Amino acid sequence: MSKPNLQIDLEYLVARSLLGLFGLLPPRSAVSLGALMGRVAFYFSVRLRRTGERNLEIAFPDLPVNTRRPFLRGCFANLGRLLGIFSQFHKDSERLKHLIEYEGLEHLKAAQEHGRGVILFTGHIGAWELSSFALSVFGYPLSFLVRRIDNPQIEALVDRARTRLGNRTIDKRSAAREMLQVLQSGGTLGILVDLNTLDREAIFVDFFGVPASTTFMVAKLALRTGADVLPVFAPWDEKRKCFLLKVDEPLIFESTGDETDDVRRLTQLYTAVAEKYVRTYPDQWLWIHRRWKTRPPGGAEIYS
């Protein structure tokens, strides 16, 4: 059901005002203020905190509560940092480069030179919006899947920021043909792989040792096109006070010819990489998302 026009206008006014105010600040100040606001929001988000606490209990059952709690506080600070850096996307890219250090772009360049297309997968760790935007800043624009925002005015605002330097967004609701076209033309495609996914678009693989409904799209596309599959993440480095754009080497995977088994094994492989990054940066993942909401047939509910 569509929203009333008044609601659309008010939501847009709030979003534009917030991004506009942050956008007036220097990039480093915007990121710092965003993190501070996120830490404050932690205390007012009771329902989200409850989800985060449950997720941390699942992921780190052997850690005491007092050890896990900073991870959840960090999650909120990370969301604020993301808001801060996103508000800077309209500015001169040279100013943003002072907040970004990159590692492994040579892996992406080599994969692109193979000419079979490249799939970059990432997760909701650090500044995931930056993982695509920063690539365009450094001269590696790509196409990537998005879920369109249900407010068309906010969607247009966000899309302009995402695509300002040559990136292209693809609506995930009708993406199959476009994704194949991108890869068959030797292009680069970005996909998020760490959210709970509907049954018809997913298979169950282990995430922190618990079956999680996970998109199989990366695996199916890679097997059908021969595209290289590379991880890309943009965590915040507190010591260096900057974001790290990290592109790792392509995943090593041998097909057996059994598509069902190959899809499952490759999906588990890139899920394990995402989990490795969460374990490395446990205070920067989206713990407030109900990652294990969809359960295997007969599986018990995880969230009350």
Read off the pLDDT of residues 177-227 as tens digits, 9 standing for 90 and up. Answer: 999 999 999 999 999 999 999 878 899 999 999 999 999 999 999 999 999
Are 208 and 287 in contact by the 8 Å Cβ rule? The answer is no
* Nearest by Cα to 76 from 51, 101, 59: 51
Mean pLDDT, the chain, whole residue set: 96
DSSP code of 247?
A: E
Phi/psi for 178 (5° steps) reads -65, -40
Q: What is the dihedral of CA 281, 286, 287, 290, to 10 degrees?
A: -140
pLDDT band at 174 (very low <50, low <70, confident <90, very high): confident
Residues 46-71 have a mean pLDDT of: 98
Q: 247: which strand partners?
A: 232
Q: For residue 3, what pLDDT is reported?
A: 86
The one-letter amino acid code at 243 reads F
Task: Kindly report which listed range (1-5, 122-126, 127-131, 160-164) carries the lowest average pLDDT score.
Answer: 1-5
Residue 2 scores a pLDDT above 80: no
Using only C-alpha atoms, the chain has a radius of gyration, in whole angstroms, of 19
pLDDT band at 33 (very low <50, low <70, confident <90, very high): very high
Q: For residue 201, what pLDDT is reported?
A: 87
Q: For residue 1, what pLDDT is reported?
A: 63
DSSP conformation letters of 100-145:
EEEE-HHHHHHHHHTSS-EEEEE-SBB-HHHHHHHHHHTT---EEE
Q: For residue 167, what pLDDT is reported?
A: 98
Rounded to two decimals, the pTM is: 0.96
pLDDT band at 18 (very low <50, low <70, confident <90, very high): very high
Retrieve residue 285's tokens: 């993942």
DSSP code of 86?
A: H
Q: For residue 200, what pLDDT is reported?
A: 85
pLDDT in tens, 253-284: 999 999 999 999 999 999 999 999 999 999 99
Measured distance CA(36)–CA(202) in Å, rounded? 36
